């Protein structure tokens, strides 16, 4: 049996009952995907995720790829999983028509991505060629589109983004890899990069690396970085593969989780020339790379949410089958019958905790994916792009933190059995921890949220989103009066939290250490704002579910009742925390930053 348990019914609810994507699927830029086509696609993805694609989940963990003489050898099971995805052409789903792809709406692409990422996250990380091809197709020269982007799609080439360096870490602007101009858009690259996902494997005919390096004479920091196309194999004029390029895997990380994904050290220009081609002929590396980074951050948020969802559903099945102890009302009766553990109060609490947050994280990323559709549908309104920017650090940062945290509750339901490899939860936890670190740690996401997405924007996008939430608070149904009041109260707390941090930031213009007071509470803001948004989305889900419940088919009644329960539980569990975080930010005096290092 497959470890992976999907929740296609909730995906369908988000898409068609809440976001109403059927109103624009099948028309305009998405004319190739109406509702029937979309659901047929998702059902097939579900079948593949549960079956052939997910089949290597455990084996890739137990028999990880190996570095042999500079080449990484993947297990046969991993190759079989990749074959299943590529042979079905699912890598083409979100690729633009211009490159021969299917041009699916982003909401549908990410809905499919949830199931692939949940069933086999380590292996799904190899499927990035389409994204990199899209970036080159958008930003590259016409020659680069034809020479690189098109064959990346047509010939299923692998691809990576190459940012991190051993001594720079998250401080990308401190990178020292250098680019020496040869002629035209051709450069020679030298340096060492670390933690490069899918940096090497023997599966792909070719691998195209998008590399950030500092050009000769480039200024310090990120402004001096340029982005280069650096292939594993050079390409001849006729499109055939040529000589091996001077970029090689010189190390393979041995990791806590996602062991089936190759995480490489790449060395460039050590013993042979490393040829790179300046993307688009312009030195705008960090801006260009953010096209990749933003997609990668979305992927990690979706991965986190999906892993929590399958963890919860595994725990739920176990709780319905595992018989242990008497009902609490008969605990003193030694002859009382034993019951399924789902009948025990604390197990029910843990299950509802997981359910409400799993559905909440899905609601958050699906709403964010929907804004990507809106960008294409309403190109004249820049609000949707700004809203997507605002949401992204929450999708990535909050989802990764809560996903990892609550998977421990999934394991707890299993008791000691969950700590063994008899069940997938222990691997879920190991595979999920990387999500809080990948593509910018949670602290980086929180700083980005406050300083770039709120303060730099002067709160304009947040205010427009807040107005929409307030409309619901004032106008929802009588059924959820107390929950709407709690939502309104928490929203006020978040607004106060933002105001406090803005005050600290303004004060730092005269007294620089005041900025520490803001930095100590940006993570708290990310948590509170994420929880307000999720509570709003889940309550709107509950309104839809409540309206549908009376006339629902018998098979759907439990689902709708569960949607209402998730909203009520989440509101009660999450929203009271906003006031605590705001109070902590208000009384902050910065003492921690003055504590001597020796006191730690």
pLDDT value of residue 415 = 97
Question: Do 396 and 298 meet the contact criterion of CB atoms below 8 Å apart?
Answer: yes
With 80 as the cut, is the pLDDT of residue 62 above it?
yes
* Cα angle 31, 32, 37; round to 5: 120
- The pLDDT score that the predictor gives to residue 339 is 95
| Residue 555, pLDDT score | 86
Over residues 121-136, the mean pLDDT reads: 95
Q: How far is CA 168 from CA 1, 221, 222, 270, 490, in A?
A: 44, 11, 12, 20, 38
Q: What is the pLDDT of residue 169?
A: 80
Q: What single-letter DSSP state applies at residue 514?
A: G
CATH T-level fold of 157-283: Butyryl-CoA Dehydrogenase, subunit A; domain 2 (2.40.110)
pLDDT for 338 beyond 90: yes
pLDDT of 325 reads 95
Cα–Cα distance, 53 to 41 (Å, whole number)? 15
User: What is the widest separation between alpha-carbon atoms in the chain?
Assistant: 86
- What pLDDT digit, counting tens, does each position of 510-564 carry? 999 999 999 999 999 999 999 999 999 999 999 999 999 989 998 899 999 999 9
- Is residue 81's pLDDT more than 80? yes
For the segment(s) 8-127, the CATH number from 3.10.20.30, 3.30.70.2200, 1.20.140.10, 1.10.540.10 is 1.10.540.10
Give the confidence band of 476 by pLDDT, cuts at 50, 70, 90: confident
How far from chain centre, in Å, is Cα 557? 31
pLDDT of residue 517: 97
State residue 212 phi and psi, 5-degree precision.
-95, 130
Instruction: Tell whether the model's pLDDT for residue 488 goes beyond 80.
Output: yes
What's the distance, CA 384 to chain centroid?
Answer: 19
pLDDT at 167: 84
What is the spatial distance between Cα 132 and Cα 208, in angstroms, rounded to a whole number? 8
Asked whether the predicted pLDDT for residue 162 surpasses 80, the reply is yes
Q: How far is CA 268 from CA 169, 212, 246, 387, 591, in A?
A: 18, 12, 6, 38, 45
Asked if residues 25 and 12 have their Cβ atoms less than 8 Å apart, the reply is no
Query: For strand 158-162 and strand 207-215, is the pairing parallel, antiparallel, or unpaired?
Result: parallel
Tell me the two tokens of residue 514. Answer: 């005041």
Average pLDDT, the chain: 96
Strand-pairing partners, residue 72, are: 67
pLDDT in the model for residue 171:
83
What is the C-alpha to C-alpha distance for residues 482 and 4, in angstroms, rounded to an integer? 37
Q: How confident is the model at residue 596 (pLDDT cuts 50, 70, 90)?
A: very high
Rounded CA-CA distance 516/211 in Å is 33
**Would you say residue 174 has pLDDT above 90?**
no
Domain with CATH 1.10.540.10 in the chain: 8-127
Question: Which of these is catalytic: 114, 359, 439, 543?
Answer: 439
Which residues are bridge partners to 249 per DSSP?
266
Token pair recorded at residue 168: 């720079």
168 pLDDT band, cuts 50/70/90, is confident
Share of the chain above pLDDT 70, in %: 100
Work out the angle between the directed axes of helices 522-549 and 481-507 (0-180°, nearest 10).
160
Helix (DSSP H) and strand (DSSP E) numbers for the chain: 21, 14
Q: Give the helix, strand, coil percentages of the chain, each rounded to 5.
A: 60, 10, 25
Report helix, strand or coil for 339. strand
Residues of the chain with CATH 2.40.110.20: 157-283
For 256-301, how does the pLDDT look when each residue is reduced to its tens digit (9 = 90+)? Answer: 999 999 999 999 999 899 999 999 999 999 999 999 999 999 999 9
Q: What pLDDT digit, counting tens, does each position of 306-335 carry?
A: 999 999 999 999 999 999 999 999 989 999
Domain 285-439 has CATH 1.10.3720.10: no
Q: d(Cα 231, Cα 158) in Å, to the nearest integer?
A: 10
CB atoms within 10 A of CB 237: 7
CA 285 to chain centre: 23
- Region of 80 on the Ramachandran plot (φ > 0 left; ψ -120 to 50 alpha; else beta): alpha
How far is Cα 81 from Cα 355, in angstroms, rounded to an integer? Answer: 29
Q: Give CA–CA dist 112/505, Å, rounded.
A: 41
Rounded to an integer, the average pLDDT of 467-496 is 96
Alpha-carbon span 558 to 549, nearest angstrom: 9
Catalytic annotation present for 340: no
588 contacts 514 by C-beta, under 8 angstroms: no
Q: Which residues of the chain form CATH 1.20.140.10?
A: 285-439
Span 26-50, pLDDT tens digits: 999 999 899 999 999 999 999 999 9
| Residue burial 163-181, b: 16+ Cβ < 10 Å; e: rest | bbbeebeeebeebebbbee
Instruction: Answer whether 153's CB lies under 8 Å from 95's CB.
Output: yes
Q: Dihedral of the CA atoms 46, 50, 56, 62 (nearest 10)?
A: 130
Question: Model's pTM, two decimal places?
Answer: 0.97
> Which two three-digit tokens encode residue 171?
């401080």
Q: Answer yes or no: is pLDDT of 463 > 90.
A: yes
The residue length of the chain stands at: 600
pLDDT of residue 86: 97
């Amino acid at each position: 049996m497959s470890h992976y348990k999907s929740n296609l019914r909730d995906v369908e609810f988000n898409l068609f009952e809440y976001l109403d994507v059927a109103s624009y699927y099948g028309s305009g830029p998405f004319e190739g995907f109406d509702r029937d086509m979309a659901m047929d696609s998702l059902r097939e993805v579900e079948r593949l995720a549960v079956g052939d694609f997910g089949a290597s989940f455990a084996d890739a963990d137990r028999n990880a790829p190996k570095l042999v003489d500079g080449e990484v050898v993947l297990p046969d099971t991993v190759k079989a999983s990749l074959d299943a995805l590529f042979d079905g052409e699912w890598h083409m789903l979100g690729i633009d028509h211009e490159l021969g792809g299917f041009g699916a709406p982003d909401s549908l692409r990410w809905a499919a991505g949830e199931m692939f990422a949940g069933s086999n996250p380590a292996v799904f990380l190899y499927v990035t060629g389409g994204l990199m091809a899209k970036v080159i197709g958008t930003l590259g020269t016409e020659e680069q589109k034809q020479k690189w982007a098109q064959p990346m799609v047509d010939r299923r080439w692998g691809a990576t983004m190459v940012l991190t360096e051993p001594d720079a870490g998250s401080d990308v602007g401190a990178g020292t890899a250098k680019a020496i101009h040869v002629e035209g858009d051709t450069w020679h690259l030298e340096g060492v990069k670390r933690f490069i996902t899918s940096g090497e494997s023997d599966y792909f005919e070719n691998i195209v690396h998008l590399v950030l390096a500092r050009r000769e004479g480039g200024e310090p920091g990120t402004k001096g970085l340029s982005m280069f196309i650096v292939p594993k194999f050079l390409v001849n004029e006729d499109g055939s593969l040529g000589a091996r390029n001077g970029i090689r895997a010189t190390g393979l990380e041995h990791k806590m989780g996602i062991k089936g994904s190759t995480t490489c050290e790449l060395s460039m220009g050590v013993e042979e020339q490393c040829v790179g081609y300046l993307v688009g002929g312009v030195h705008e590396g960090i801006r260009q790379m953010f096209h990749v980074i933003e997609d990668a951050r979305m992927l990690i948020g979706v991965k986190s949410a999906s892993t929590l969802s399958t963890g919860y559903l595994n725990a739920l099945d176990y709780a319905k089958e595992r018989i242990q102890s008497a009902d609490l009302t008969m605990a003193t009766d030694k002859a009382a019958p034993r019951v399924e553990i789902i009948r025990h109060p604390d197990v029910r609490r843990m299950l509802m905790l997981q359910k409400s947050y799993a559905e909440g994280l899905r609601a958050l990323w699906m709403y964010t994916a929907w804004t990507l559709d809106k960008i294409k549908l309403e190109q004249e309104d820049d609000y949707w792009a700004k809203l997507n920017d605002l949401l992204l650090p929450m999708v990535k940062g909050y989802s990764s933190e809560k996903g990892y945290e609550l998977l421990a509750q999934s394991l707890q339901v299993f008791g000691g059995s969950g700590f063994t490899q008899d069940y997938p939860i222990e691997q879920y936890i190991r595979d999920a921890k990387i999500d809080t670190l990948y593509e910018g740690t949670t602290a980086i996401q929180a700083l980005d949220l406050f300083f770039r997405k709120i303060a730099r924007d002067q709160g304009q996008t947040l205010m427009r989103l807040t107005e929409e939430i307030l409309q619901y608070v004032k106008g929802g149904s009588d059924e959820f009066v107390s929950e709407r009041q709690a939502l309104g109260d928490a929203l006020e707390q978040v607004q106060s939290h933002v105001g406090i941090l803005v005050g600290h930031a303004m004060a730092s213009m005269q007294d620089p250490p005041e900025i520490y007071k803001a930095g100590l509470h940006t993570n708290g803001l990310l948590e509170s704002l994420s929880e307000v948004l999720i509570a709003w989305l889940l309550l709107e889900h509950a309104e839809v579910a409540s309206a549908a419940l009376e006339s629902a088919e018998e098979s759907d009644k439990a689902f709708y009742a569960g949607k209402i329960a998730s909203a009520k539980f989440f509101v009660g569990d999450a929203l009271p925390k906003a006031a605590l975080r705001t109070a902590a930010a208000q009384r902050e005096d910065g003492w921690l930053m003055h504590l001597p290092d020796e006191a730690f």
